[in-house]
């Protein structure tokens, strides 16, 4: 190899190394908006396609977009959504991030808590837990309806497993059980945007319809099995 050829090869090799060093090893993956588990009109007539389109396409998408904007350049950029929720909880400096991340997580969980032609009797293993905690599945239904209907303001009503038994808990605003020691099995969104186009101020009618015709007991039972 001539001296000139050697110099050219050296420059090319050095440029290649510099190029590799200057490019990031892994680009941070943004939080995504998961697809709905069914068509937007699949929950009709109990929840209209118009409500689903606004709720999913605008509200949930807005939370995801805000979450990604706040995460950009932070230590949590690229982390799984659940990790972002837990890491930002109870930190006054991260309130905006927590609200967006928790609402993104809560909404994705909420859609899975419903299915077309839902409702009916819970599977046996879940019925046993409801009987243990509430006396009967009917007593659970009455307690859940009362809790979801009387929650003041905006928030969520959850069926959770605390390691020993199931219980009903309410969380305000973006609150979520995954920041504590309770394992969520089901949730219903009682923010007004979840039901107002279909039920106006009749929250109890929405909760009744959700329990009788939409609740996905198989999803709840699967969550119990993973608890």
Question: For the chain, what are the domain ranges?
Answer: 49-112, 124-226
pTM to 2 decimals? Answer: 0.87
- Give the other-Cβ count within 10 Å of 97's Cβ: 22
Residue of 192, 51, 160, 176 lying closest to 106 (CA atoms): 176
What is the reported pLDDT for 29? 79
User: 49-112 belongs to which CATH class?
Assistant: mainly alpha
pLDDT tens, N- to C-terminus, the chain (227 residues) = 443 343 334 433 443 433 433 334 445 679 999 999 999 999 999 999 999 999 999 999 999 999 999 999 999 999 999 999 999 999 999 999 999 999 999 999 999 999 999 999 999 999 999 999 999 999 999 999 999 999 999 999 999 999 999 999 999 999 999 999 899 999 999 999 999 999 999 999 999 999 999 999 999 999 999 98
What is the reported pLDDT for 24? 41
What is the reported pLDDT for 27? 55
What is the reported pLDDT for 5? 41
Packing angle between helix 81-88 and helix 95-112, nearest 10 degrees? 140
What is the reported pLDDT for 102? 98
Packing angle between helix 61-71 and helix 95-112, nearest 10 degrees? 140
Residue of 31, 32, 50, 28 lying closest to 41 (CA atoms): 50
- Assign domain 124-226 one CATH number from 3.20.20.140, 3.20.20.105, 3.55.40.20, 2.102.10.10: 3.55.40.20
């Amino acid at each position: 190899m001539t001296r000139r050829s050697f110099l050219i090869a050296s420059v090319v090799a050095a440029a290649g190394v510099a190029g590799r060093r200057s490019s990031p090893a892994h680009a941070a993956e943004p939080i995504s908006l998961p697809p709905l588990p069914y068509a937007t009109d699949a929950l009709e007539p109990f929840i209209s396609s118009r409500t689903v389109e606004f709720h999913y396409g605008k509200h949930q998408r807005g939370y995801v977009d805000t979450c990604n904007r706040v995460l950009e350049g932070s230590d949590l950029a690229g982390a799984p959504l659940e990790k972002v929720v837990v890491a930002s909880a109870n930190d006054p400096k991260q309130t905006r991030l927590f609200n967006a991340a928790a609402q993104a997580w809560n909404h994705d969980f909420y859609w899975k808590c419903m299915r077309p032609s839902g409702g009916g009797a819970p599977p046996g293993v879940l019925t046993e837990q409801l009987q243990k905690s509430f006396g009967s599945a009917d007593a659970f239904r009455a307690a859940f309806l009362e809790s979801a209907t009387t929650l003041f303001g905006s928030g969520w009503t959850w069926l959770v497993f605390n390691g020993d038994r199931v219980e009903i808990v309410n969380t305000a605003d973006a609150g979520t059980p995954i920041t504590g020691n309770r394992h969520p099995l089901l949730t219903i969104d009682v923010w007004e945007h979840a039901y107002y186009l279909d039920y106006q101020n009749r929250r109890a009618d929405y909760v009744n319809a959700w329990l009788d015709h939409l609740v996905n007991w198989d999803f709840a039972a699967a969550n119990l099995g993973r608890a």
